[in-house]
A and B are shown apart, each in its own frame.
Chain A
Protein backbone atom coordinates (compact mmCIF):
# COMPACT_ATOMS: atom_id res chain seq x y z
CA UNK A 1 0.00 0.00 0.00
CA UNK A 2 1.52 3.33 -0.96
CA UNK A 3 1.32 5.78 1.92
CA UNK A 4 -0.62 9.01 1.60
CA UNK A 5 1.07 11.68 -0.52
CA UNK A 6 1.93 14.00 2.32
CA UNK A 7 2.60 11.27 4.83
CA UNK A 8 -0.28 12.43 7.02
CA UNK A 9 -1.80 8.96 6.94
CA UNK A 10 -4.12 8.40 9.89
CA UNK A 11 -2.93 5.64 12.15
CA UNK A 12 -4.72 2.35 11.67
CA UNK A 13 -5.95 3.08 8.17
CA UNK A 14 -3.67 0.49 6.63
CA UNK A 15 -4.49 -2.16 9.20
CA UNK A 16 -8.20 -2.26 8.47
CA UNK A 17 -7.89 -2.71 4.71
CA UNK A 18 -8.96 -6.24 3.81
CA UNK A 19 -11.09 -6.64 6.94
CA UNK A 20 -14.79 -7.49 6.79
CA UNK A 21 -17.21 -4.92 8.14
CA UNK A 22 -20.95 -4.91 8.85
CA UNK A 23 -23.25 -1.86 8.74
CA UNK A 24 -22.65 0.41 11.71
CA UNK A 25 -19.10 -0.81 12.29
CA UNK A 26 -16.57 1.92 12.95
CA UNK A 27 -14.01 1.59 10.21
CA UNK A 28 -11.77 4.49 11.09
CA UNK A 29 -11.55 7.07 13.85
CA UNK A 30 -11.15 10.48 12.28
CA UNK A 31 -7.75 12.09 12.79
CA UNK A 32 -7.73 15.44 14.63
CA UNK A 33 -6.41 17.19 11.51
CA UNK A 34 -6.36 16.66 7.77
CA UNK A 35 -9.18 16.28 5.28
CA UNK A 36 -11.46 13.36 4.58
CA UNK A 37 -13.70 13.28 1.53
CA UNK A 38 -16.60 10.88 1.43
CA UNK A 39 -18.13 9.46 -1.72
CA UNK A 40 -20.95 7.00 -2.15
CA UNK A 41 -18.96 3.95 -1.32
CA UNK A 42 -20.54 2.25 1.64
CA UNK A 43 -18.93 4.52 4.22
CA UNK A 44 -20.23 7.60 5.97
CA UNK A 45 -19.04 9.93 8.72
CA UNK A 46 -20.79 9.61 12.04
CA UNK A 47 -19.58 11.52 15.07
CA UNK A 48 -15.82 11.23 15.17
CA UNK A 49 -15.54 8.18 12.98
CA UNK A 50 -16.09 6.73 9.54
CA UNK A 51 -18.75 4.09 9.75
CA UNK A 52 -19.61 1.32 7.31
CA UNK A 53 -23.12 1.44 5.82
CA UNK A 54 -23.11 -1.96 4.18
CA UNK A 55 -21.38 -5.24 4.73
CA UNK A 56 -18.30 -6.05 2.74
CA UNK A 57 -14.54 -5.90 2.74
CA UNK A 58 -12.77 -2.61 3.35
CA UNK A 59 -10.62 -1.85 0.30
CA UNK A 60 -8.38 1.00 -0.67
CA UNK A 61 -7.68 2.30 -4.14
CA UNK A 62 -4.19 3.30 -5.24
CA UNK A 63 -5.15 6.91 -4.61
CA UNK A 64 -5.75 6.12 -0.96
CA UNK A 65 -9.53 6.10 -1.16
CA UNK A 66 -11.27 3.76 1.22
CA UNK A 67 -14.38 1.95 0.04
CA UNK A 68 -16.40 -1.12 0.87
CA UNK A 69 -16.54 -3.95 -1.58
CA UNK A 70 -19.83 -5.72 -1.09
CA UNK A 71 -21.31 -8.73 -2.82
CA UNK A 72 -24.86 -7.58 -3.41
CA UNK A 73 -26.80 -9.15 -6.25
CA UNK A 74 -28.29 -6.04 -7.81
CA UNK A 75 -26.22 -4.17 -10.33
CA UNK A 76 -25.64 -0.46 -9.70
CA UNK A 77 -24.52 1.20 -12.95
CA UNK A 78 -21.21 3.06 -13.05
CA UNK A 79 -19.83 5.13 -15.91
CA UNK A 80 -17.71 3.11 -18.33
CA UNK A 81 -19.17 -0.29 -17.42
CA UNK A 82 -20.04 -2.58 -20.31
CA UNK A 83 -23.46 -4.13 -19.90
CA UNK A 84 -25.71 -6.64 -21.63
CA UNK A 85 -29.27 -5.32 -21.79
CA UNK A 86 -32.60 -6.26 -23.27
CA UNK A 87 -34.57 -3.69 -25.27
CA UNK A 88 -37.99 -3.28 -23.67
CA UNK A 89 -39.27 -0.32 -25.70
CA UNK A 90 -38.48 1.44 -28.96
CA UNK A 91 -39.30 5.15 -28.83
CA UNK A 92 -38.84 7.72 -31.58
CA UNK A 93 -35.47 8.98 -30.34
CA UNK A 94 -34.20 6.20 -28.10
CA UNK A 95 -34.53 2.65 -26.88
CA UNK A 96 -35.45 1.80 -23.31
CA UNK A 97 -33.18 -0.97 -22.12
CA UNK A 98 -33.43 -3.23 -19.09
CA UNK A 99 -29.96 -3.64 -17.62
CA UNK A 100 -31.09 -5.29 -14.35
CA UNK A 101 -30.23 -2.13 -12.42
CA UNK A 102 -32.50 0.05 -10.31
CA UNK A 103 -33.66 1.98 -13.37
CA UNK A 104 -34.19 1.25 -17.03
CA UNK A 105 -31.46 2.75 -19.19
CA UNK A 106 -31.82 5.05 -22.18
CA UNK A 107 -29.99 4.16 -25.38
CA UNK A 108 -30.27 7.01 -27.93
CA UNK A 109 -30.93 5.98 -31.53
CA UNK A 110 -27.93 8.04 -32.64
CA UNK A 111 -25.50 6.29 -30.31
CA UNK A 112 -24.75 3.64 -32.91
CA UNK A 113 -22.04 3.61 -35.56
CA UNK A 114 -23.23 5.33 -38.75
CA UNK A 115 -26.66 5.97 -37.30
CA UNK A 116 -28.44 9.05 -38.61
CA UNK A 117 -31.94 10.43 -38.25
CA UNK A 118 -32.84 8.51 -41.39
CA UNK A 119 -30.77 5.43 -40.80
CA UNK A 120 -32.02 4.00 -37.53
CA UNK A 121 -30.65 0.77 -36.14
CA UNK A 122 -32.80 -2.27 -36.85
CA UNK A 123 -33.25 -3.24 -33.23
CA UNK A 124 -36.61 -4.02 -31.71
CA UNK A 125 -38.25 -4.98 -28.45
CA UNK A 126 -36.87 -8.21 -27.04
CA UNK A 127 -33.45 -7.85 -28.69
CA UNK A 128 -30.29 -8.07 -26.62
CA UNK A 129 -27.66 -5.33 -26.88
CA UNK A 130 -24.10 -4.94 -25.67
CA UNK A 131 -23.46 -1.34 -24.63
CA UNK A 132 -21.35 0.94 -22.48
CA UNK A 133 -22.74 3.09 -19.66
CA UNK A 134 -22.07 6.66 -20.83
CA UNK A 135 -23.71 8.47 -17.94
CA UNK A 136 -24.64 7.20 -14.52
CA UNK A 137 -25.87 10.10 -12.47
CA UNK A 138 -27.98 9.20 -9.44
CA UNK A 139 -30.59 11.79 -10.39
CA UNK A 140 -31.08 10.57 -13.93
CA UNK A 141 -31.79 7.33 -15.73
CA UNK A 142 -28.50 5.83 -16.89
CA UNK A 143 -27.58 6.55 -20.51
CA UNK A 144 -26.00 3.87 -22.70
CA UNK A 145 -24.04 4.11 -25.91
CA UNK A 146 -23.07 1.58 -28.54
CA UNK A 147 -20.03 3.46 -29.85
CA UNK A 148 -16.59 4.07 -28.42
CA UNK A 149 -14.88 7.44 -28.10
CA UNK A 150 -14.11 7.50 -31.86
CA UNK A 151 -17.70 6.81 -32.86
CA UNK A 152 -16.93 3.23 -33.87
CA UNK A 153 -19.00 0.23 -32.95
CA UNK A 154 -16.01 -1.70 -31.52
CA UNK A 155 -18.02 -4.79 -30.60
CA UNK A 156 -20.92 -2.86 -29.08
CA UNK A 157 -24.38 -3.18 -30.55
CA UNK A 158 -27.04 -5.75 -31.29
CA UNK A 159 -26.25 -9.25 -30.01
CA UNK A 160 -27.70 -11.49 -32.69
CA UNK A 161 -28.69 -15.00 -31.71
CA UNK A 162 -26.75 -16.47 -28.83
CA UNK A 163 -27.67 -17.31 -25.30
CA UNK A 164 -27.64 -15.06 -22.25
CA UNK A 165 -27.14 -16.30 -18.73
CA UNK A 166 -27.10 -14.51 -15.42
CA UNK A 167 -24.35 -14.65 -12.86
CA UNK A 168 -23.19 -12.58 -9.92
CA UNK A 169 -21.75 -9.16 -10.74
CA UNK A 170 -18.52 -10.26 -9.07
CA UNK A 171 -18.15 -13.23 -11.41
CA UNK A 172 -18.86 -11.01 -14.42
CA UNK A 173 -16.11 -8.67 -13.27
CA UNK A 174 -13.77 -11.63 -12.87
CA UNK A 175 -14.50 -12.82 -16.42
CA UNK A 176 -13.32 -9.42 -17.66
CA UNK A 177 -10.05 -9.40 -15.71
CA UNK A 178 -6.78 -9.72 -17.60
CA UNK A 179 -5.86 -12.52 -17.79
CA UNK A 180 -9.35 -14.02 -17.56
CA UNK A 181 -10.05 -17.02 -15.30
CA UNK A 182 -8.60 -20.31 -16.53
CA UNK A 183 -12.04 -21.65 -17.42
CA UNK A 184 -12.35 -19.18 -20.31
CA UNK A 185 -9.17 -20.38 -22.01
CA UNK A 186 -10.03 -24.00 -21.31
CA UNK A 187 -13.44 -23.52 -22.87
CA UNK A 188 -11.89 -21.82 -25.89
CA UNK A 189 -9.70 -24.87 -26.44
CA UNK A 190 -12.78 -27.08 -26.72
CA UNK A 191 -15.40 -24.92 -28.41
CA UNK A 192 -15.07 -21.90 -30.68
CA UNK A 193 -17.28 -19.34 -28.98
CA UNK A 194 -18.02 -15.65 -28.80
CA UNK A 195 -18.73 -13.98 -25.50
CA UNK A 196 -19.91 -10.56 -24.33
CA UNK A 197 -19.63 -10.00 -20.60
CA UNK A 198 -21.82 -7.36 -18.99
CA UNK A 199 -20.75 -6.08 -15.61
CA UNK A 200 -24.45 -6.14 -14.78
CA UNK A 201 -24.19 -9.86 -14.25
CA UNK A 202 -25.34 -10.93 -17.69
CA UNK A 203 -23.15 -12.83 -20.06
CA UNK A 204 -24.02 -13.45 -23.69
CA UNK A 205 -22.45 -16.39 -25.43
CA UNK A 206 -22.68 -17.80 -28.94
CA UNK A 207 -21.25 -20.99 -30.43
CA UNK A 208 -21.66 -22.90 -33.72
CA UNK A 209 -24.75 -24.70 -32.45
CA UNK A 210 -27.38 -23.87 -29.87
CA UNK A 211 -26.64 -27.03 -27.93
CA UNK A 212 -22.95 -26.14 -27.68
CA UNK A 213 -23.70 -22.59 -26.60
CA UNK A 214 -26.09 -23.79 -23.92
CA UNK A 215 -23.47 -26.23 -22.63
CA UNK A 216 -20.67 -23.65 -22.79
CA UNK A 217 -22.85 -21.21 -20.84
CA UNK A 218 -23.53 -23.91 -18.29
CA UNK A 219 -19.79 -24.51 -17.86
CA UNK A 220 -19.04 -20.81 -17.43
CA UNK A 221 -21.86 -20.34 -14.96
CA UNK A 222 -20.99 -23.40 -12.91
CA UNK A 223 -17.29 -22.48 -12.78
CA UNK A 224 -17.98 -19.64 -10.35
CA UNK A 225 -18.98 -21.97 -7.57
CA UNK A 226 -17.64 -25.34 -8.57
CA UNK A 227 -14.18 -24.63 -9.91
CA UNK A 228 -11.75 -23.71 -7.16
CA UNK A 229 -8.68 -21.53 -7.76
CA UNK A 230 -6.38 -24.54 -8.08
CA UNK A 231 -8.91 -26.72 -9.94
CA UNK A 232 -8.17 -28.35 -13.27
CA UNK A 233 -10.05 -26.05 -15.66
CA UNK A 234 -9.51 -28.31 -18.67
CA UNK A 235 -11.02 -31.36 -17.01
CA UNK A 236 -13.83 -29.25 -15.57
CA UNK A 237 -14.79 -27.93 -18.99
CA UNK A 238 -14.66 -31.37 -20.59
CA UNK A 239 -16.93 -32.74 -17.90
CA UNK A 240 -19.36 -29.82 -18.24
CA UNK A 241 -19.54 -30.12 -22.02
CA UNK A 242 -20.07 -33.86 -21.94
CA UNK A 243 -22.61 -33.84 -19.10
CA UNK A 244 -26.39 -33.90 -19.48
CA UNK A 245 -28.42 -34.53 -22.57
CA UNK A 246 -28.23 -38.27 -22.10
CA UNK A 247 -31.92 -38.75 -21.46
CA UNK A 248 -33.11 -36.62 -24.39
Chain B
Protein backbone atom coordinates (compact mmCIF):
# COMPACT_ATOMS: atom_id res chain seq x y z
CA UNK B 1 0.00 0.00 0.00
CA UNK B 2 1.47 3.29 -1.07
CA UNK B 3 1.41 6.57 0.67
CA UNK B 4 -1.95 8.22 0.70
CA UNK B 5 -2.30 11.20 -1.63
CA UNK B 6 -3.80 14.13 0.24
CA UNK B 7 -3.78 16.43 -2.74
CA UNK B 8 -4.17 15.16 -6.24
CA UNK B 9 -4.81 17.25 -9.33
CA UNK B 10 -5.02 20.27 -7.05
CA UNK B 11 -7.95 18.82 -5.11
CA UNK B 12 -8.11 17.48 -1.57
CA UNK B 13 -9.83 14.35 -0.29
CA UNK B 14 -13.08 16.20 0.27
CA UNK B 15 -12.87 17.97 -3.08
CA UNK B 16 -11.64 21.31 -1.78
CA UNK B 17 -8.74 23.28 -3.23
CA UNK B 18 -5.73 23.66 -0.89
CA UNK B 19 -6.66 27.21 0.13
CA UNK B 20 -10.38 26.68 0.38
CA UNK B 21 -12.39 26.78 3.61
CA UNK B 22 -15.16 24.33 4.34
CA UNK B 23 -18.74 25.55 4.25
CA UNK B 24 -19.48 27.73 7.24
CA UNK B 25 -22.72 28.37 9.00
CA UNK B 26 -23.31 30.63 11.98
CA UNK B 27 -26.50 31.02 13.98
CA UNK B 28 -26.90 33.50 16.82
CA UNK B 29 -29.27 33.39 19.79
CA UNK B 30 -30.00 29.67 19.62
CA UNK B 31 -30.51 28.91 23.33
CA UNK B 32 -33.19 30.41 25.47
CA UNK B 33 -31.69 30.47 28.95
CA UNK B 34 -28.27 31.85 28.11
CA UNK B 35 -27.53 35.59 28.01
CA UNK B 36 -25.87 34.96 24.68
CA UNK B 37 -25.53 31.87 22.53
CA UNK B 38 -24.40 30.80 19.09
CA UNK B 39 -23.83 27.79 16.91
CA UNK B 40 -20.86 27.65 14.56
CA UNK B 41 -20.37 25.01 11.92
CA UNK B 42 -17.41 24.37 9.59
CA UNK B 43 -18.03 21.37 7.38
CA UNK B 44 -19.04 18.57 9.72
CA UNK B 45 -17.60 20.24 12.80
CA UNK B 46 -20.35 21.82 14.85
CA UNK B 47 -20.00 23.69 18.12
CA UNK B 48 -22.49 25.38 20.41
CA UNK B 49 -21.45 28.14 22.81
CA UNK B 50 -23.31 29.99 25.51
CA UNK B 51 -22.46 32.96 27.69
CA UNK B 52 -23.83 33.74 31.15
CA UNK B 53 -23.03 37.09 32.67
CA UNK B 54 -21.65 39.48 33.56
CA UNK B 55 -22.78 38.17 36.93
CA UNK B 56 -21.57 38.00 40.51
CA UNK B 57 -18.36 36.04 41.01
CA UNK B 58 -19.00 32.67 42.56
CA UNK B 59 -15.86 32.45 44.64
CA UNK B 60 -15.22 35.73 46.34
CA UNK B 61 -11.52 34.99 46.58
CA UNK B 62 -11.29 35.25 42.80
CA UNK B 63 -12.96 38.65 42.63
CA UNK B 64 -10.95 41.31 40.77
CA UNK B 65 -11.69 44.91 41.66
CA UNK B 66 -10.66 46.35 38.33
CA UNK B 67 -11.77 43.77 35.80
CA UNK B 68 -14.01 40.82 35.09
CA UNK B 69 -12.87 37.24 35.41
CA UNK B 70 -13.67 34.82 32.62
CA UNK B 71 -14.58 31.18 33.23
CA UNK B 72 -14.59 28.73 30.43
CA UNK B 73 -15.63 25.12 30.12
CA UNK B 74 -15.25 22.85 27.13
CA UNK B 75 -17.25 19.68 26.73
CA UNK B 76 -17.61 17.12 24.01
CA UNK B 77 -20.81 15.19 23.37
CA UNK B 78 -20.33 11.43 23.51
CA UNK B 79 -21.71 11.10 19.98
CA UNK B 80 -19.55 13.87 18.50
CA UNK B 81 -16.64 11.75 17.33
CA UNK B 82 -16.42 8.85 14.88
CA UNK B 83 -15.66 6.42 17.66
CA UNK B 84 -18.13 6.78 20.51
CA UNK B 85 -16.39 8.05 23.58
CA UNK B 86 -17.62 9.57 26.74
CA UNK B 87 -15.13 11.94 28.22
CA UNK B 88 -15.24 13.99 31.34
CA UNK B 89 -15.18 17.74 31.36
CA UNK B 90 -11.99 17.66 33.36
CA UNK B 91 -9.67 15.43 31.36
CA UNK B 92 -6.38 16.89 30.15
CA UNK B 93 -7.51 17.80 26.66
CA UNK B 94 -10.66 19.52 27.89
CA UNK B 95 -8.72 21.47 30.50
CA UNK B 96 -6.11 22.59 27.98
CA UNK B 97 -8.72 23.67 25.46
CA UNK B 98 -10.71 25.54 28.11
CA UNK B 99 -7.56 27.44 28.98
CA UNK B 100 -6.75 28.30 25.36
CA UNK B 101 -10.28 29.52 24.72
CA UNK B 102 -10.35 31.52 27.94
CA UNK B 103 -7.01 33.13 27.23
CA UNK B 104 -8.09 34.09 23.72
CA UNK B 105 -11.36 35.57 24.89
CA UNK B 106 -9.74 37.48 27.75
CA UNK B 107 -7.66 39.36 25.19
CA UNK B 108 -10.79 40.30 23.28
CA UNK B 109 -13.30 41.25 25.97
CA UNK B 110 -13.11 44.74 27.45
CA UNK B 111 -12.63 43.24 30.90
CA UNK B 112 -12.15 46.58 32.64
CA UNK B 113 -15.75 47.46 31.80
CA UNK B 114 -17.03 44.68 34.03
CA UNK B 115 -15.14 45.11 37.30
CA UNK B 116 -15.97 42.64 40.09
CA UNK B 117 -17.99 40.38 37.84
CA UNK B 118 -17.66 37.00 36.22
CA UNK B 119 -18.39 36.02 32.65
CA UNK B 120 -19.02 32.34 32.01
CA UNK B 121 -18.42 30.87 28.58
CA UNK B 122 -19.42 27.28 27.88
CA UNK B 123 -18.65 25.50 24.64
CA UNK B 124 -20.18 22.21 23.68
CA UNK B 125 -18.87 20.22 20.73
CA UNK B 126 -21.76 18.53 18.96
CA UNK B 127 -19.76 17.14 16.06
CA UNK B 128 -16.00 16.91 15.76
CA UNK B 129 -14.41 16.63 12.34
CA UNK B 130 -11.18 18.58 12.65
CA UNK B 131 -10.75 22.19 13.69
CA UNK B 132 -12.84 21.95 16.88
CA UNK B 133 -10.50 24.34 18.68
CA UNK B 134 -11.09 27.02 16.06
CA UNK B 135 -14.83 26.39 15.87
CA UNK B 136 -15.04 26.74 19.66
CA UNK B 137 -13.40 30.15 19.60
CA UNK B 138 -15.63 31.31 16.76
CA UNK B 139 -18.80 30.09 18.45
CA UNK B 140 -17.75 31.66 21.76
CA UNK B 141 -17.01 34.98 20.07
CA UNK B 142 -20.49 35.06 18.52
CA UNK B 143 -22.10 34.14 21.83
CA UNK B 144 -20.23 36.98 23.58
CA UNK B 145 -21.41 39.43 20.95
CA UNK B 146 -24.97 38.14 21.33
CA UNK B 147 -24.74 38.72 25.08
CA UNK B 148 -23.78 42.33 24.40
CA UNK B 149 -20.41 41.95 26.12
CA UNK B 150 -18.14 44.75 24.96
CA UNK B 151 -15.35 43.52 22.72
CA UNK B 152 -12.21 45.20 21.44
CA UNK B 153 -12.67 43.63 18.04
CA UNK B 154 -14.23 40.58 16.47
CA UNK B 155 -12.04 37.55 16.68
CA UNK B 156 -11.86 34.59 14.35
CA UNK B 157 -9.88 31.42 14.48
CA UNK B 158 -8.72 29.13 11.72
CA UNK B 159 -6.09 26.44 11.20
CA UNK B 160 -3.69 25.66 8.40
CA UNK B 161 -1.59 22.57 7.87
CA UNK B 162 1.22 21.39 5.64
CA UNK B 163 0.96 18.02 3.95
CA UNK B 164 3.18 16.66 1.19
CA UNK B 165 4.72 20.03 0.49
CA UNK B 166 1.40 21.85 0.18
CA UNK B 167 -0.01 24.31 2.70
CA UNK B 168 -3.65 23.41 3.33
CA UNK B 169 -6.28 25.64 4.89
CA UNK B 170 -8.81 24.42 7.48
CA UNK B 171 -7.93 20.72 7.91
CA UNK B 172 -10.67 18.18 8.38
CA UNK B 173 -10.29 15.18 10.67
CA UNK B 174 -8.86 12.91 7.98
CA UNK B 175 -6.17 15.42 7.04
CA UNK B 176 -5.53 16.16 10.69
CA UNK B 177 -4.88 12.48 11.35
CA UNK B 178 -2.19 12.39 8.67
CA UNK B 179 0.12 13.71 11.38
CA UNK B 180 1.50 16.66 9.49
CA UNK B 181 2.17 19.99 11.14
CA UNK B 182 -0.87 22.07 11.95
CA UNK B 183 -1.06 25.67 13.06
CA UNK B 184 -4.17 27.16 14.58
CA UNK B 185 -4.39 30.91 14.85
CA UNK B 186 -6.87 33.28 16.45
CA UNK B 187 -6.78 36.71 14.88
CA UNK B 188 -8.34 40.12 15.43
CA UNK B 189 -8.77 41.53 11.94
CA UNK B 190 -9.52 45.09 12.98
CA UNK B 191 -6.50 45.38 15.24
CA UNK B 192 -4.36 43.12 13.06
CA UNK B 193 -3.24 41.05 16.02
CA UNK B 194 -2.64 37.35 16.48
CA UNK B 195 -4.06 36.53 19.91
CA UNK B 196 -3.52 32.79 19.95
CA UNK B 197 -1.20 30.53 18.06
CA UNK B 198 -0.51 26.88 18.46
CA UNK B 199 1.56 24.64 16.26
CA UNK B 200 1.91 20.89 16.51
CA UNK B 201 4.51 19.00 14.52
CA UNK B 202 7.66 20.06 12.73
CA UNK B 203 7.64 22.57 9.93
CA UNK B 204 10.38 24.24 7.84
CA UNK B 205 10.78 27.91 8.77
CA UNK B 206 9.79 29.18 5.31
CA UNK B 207 6.66 27.08 5.37
CA UNK B 208 5.81 28.36 8.86
CA UNK B 209 5.37 31.89 7.62
CA UNK B 210 3.37 30.71 4.64
CA UNK B 211 1.05 28.63 6.81
CA UNK B 212 0.50 31.39 9.35
CA UNK B 213 -0.29 33.78 6.52
CA UNK B 214 -2.74 31.26 5.10
CA UNK B 215 -4.40 30.73 8.48
CA UNK B 216 -4.74 34.51 8.90
CA UNK B 217 -6.39 34.77 5.48
CA UNK B 218 -8.77 32.05 6.65
CA UNK B 219 -9.47 33.99 9.85
CA UNK B 220 -10.28 37.11 7.83
CA UNK B 221 -12.73 35.21 5.67
CA UNK B 222 -14.37 33.70 8.75
CA UNK B 223 -14.53 37.05 10.50
CA UNK B 224 -16.35 38.35 7.43
CA UNK B 225 -18.94 35.60 7.64
CA UNK B 226 -19.36 36.10 11.37
CA UNK B 227 -19.69 39.86 11.08
CA UNK B 228 -22.33 39.49 8.38
CA UNK B 229 -24.32 37.10 10.57
CA UNK B 230 -24.02 39.48 13.55
CA UNK B 231 -25.32 42.39 11.48
CA UNK B 232 -28.13 40.26 10.07
CA UNK B 233 -29.11 39.07 13.54
CA UNK B 234 -29.02 42.60 14.98
CA UNK B 235 -31.15 43.92 12.12
CA UNK B 236 -33.70 41.14 12.66
CA UNK B 237 -33.88 41.90 16.39
CA UNK B 238 -34.19 45.61 15.74
CA UNK B 239 -36.93 45.09 13.19
CA UNK B 240 -38.85 42.96 15.70
CA UNK B 241 -38.56 45.69 18.31
CA UNK B 242 -39.08 48.62 15.96
CA UNK B 243 -42.78 49.06 16.66
CA UNK B 244 -41.83 48.74 20.28
CA UNK B 245 -40.50 52.24 19.88
CA UNK B 246 -36.75 51.52 19.55
CA UNK B 247 -34.93 54.63 20.68
CA UNK B 248 -35.89 55.39 24.23
CA UNK B 249 -33.39 56.60 26.75
CA UNK B 250 -29.72 56.28 26.13
CA UNK B 251 -26.84 56.07 28.54
CA UNK B 252 -23.76 58.24 28.45
CA UNK B 253 -22.13 58.27 25.10
CA UNK B 254 -19.31 59.49 23.00
CA UNK B 255 -20.10 63.16 23.00
CA UNK B 256 -19.05 65.06 19.95
CA UNK B 257 -18.49 68.70 20.45
Answer yes or no: A and B touching, Cβ < 8 Å. Answer: yes
Q: Tell me the A residues contacting B by CB distance below 8 Å.
A: 4-6, 8-10, 13, 20-26, 28, 34-44, 46, 50-51, 53-57, 59-61, 63-67, 69-74, 78, 102-104, 138-139, 168, 170-171, 173-174, 177, 181, 224-225, 228-229
A57 adjacent to B234 (CB under 8 Å):
yes
A13 adjacent to B256 (CB under 8 Å):
yes
**Considering the chains assembled together, what is the distance between the CA atoms of A64 and B253 in angstroms?**
9
B148 adjacent to A61 (CB under 8 Å):
no
* Inter-chain CB contacts under 8 Å: number: 189
- Name A's interface SS: loop
CB distance from B214 to the nearest CB of A (A): 22
Q: Which residues of A contact B56 (CB under 8 A)?
A: 102-104
The segment out of B12-20, B158-166, B236-244 that lies at the interface is B236-244
A171 adjacent to B250 (CB under 8 Å):
no
**Considering the chains assembled together, what is the distance between the CA atoms of A231 and B33 in angstroms?**
29
**Considering the chains assembled together, what is the distance between the CA atoms of A121 and B118 in angstroms?**
33
User: Could you tell me which residues of chain B, from 215 to 257, have a CB within 8 Å of some CB in chain A?
Assistant: 227, 230-231, 233-235, 237-238, 240-257
Q: Which residues of B contact A74 (CB under 8 A)?
A: 35, 53-54, 147-148
B255 adjacent to A64 (CB under 8 Å):
yes
**Considering the chains assembled together, what is the distance between the CA atoms of A110 and B110 in angstroms?**
37
B180 at the interface (CB under 8 A from A): no
B104 at the interface (CB under 8 A from A): no
The residue from B36, B110, B117, B255 contacting A73, defined by CB atoms under 8 A apart:
B36
CB distance from A59 to the nearest CB of B (A): 6
Q: What residue in chain B is nearest A102 (Cβ atoms)?
A: B54
B244 adjacent to A174 (CB under 8 Å):
yes
List 26 A-B pairs, Cβ < 8 Å.
A4-B257, A13-B256, A20-B235, A23-B150, A23-B153, A24-B191, A26-B190, A37-B255, A40-B251, A41-B251, A46-B152, A51-B153, A53-B151, A65-B254, A66-B256, A67-B251, A71-B241, A72-B147, A104-B56, A138-B115, A139-B65, A170-B246, A171-B241, A173-B249, A177-B248, A225-B240
| A8-B257, A56-B234, A103-B56 known; A78 vs B251 contact (CB < 8 Å) | yes
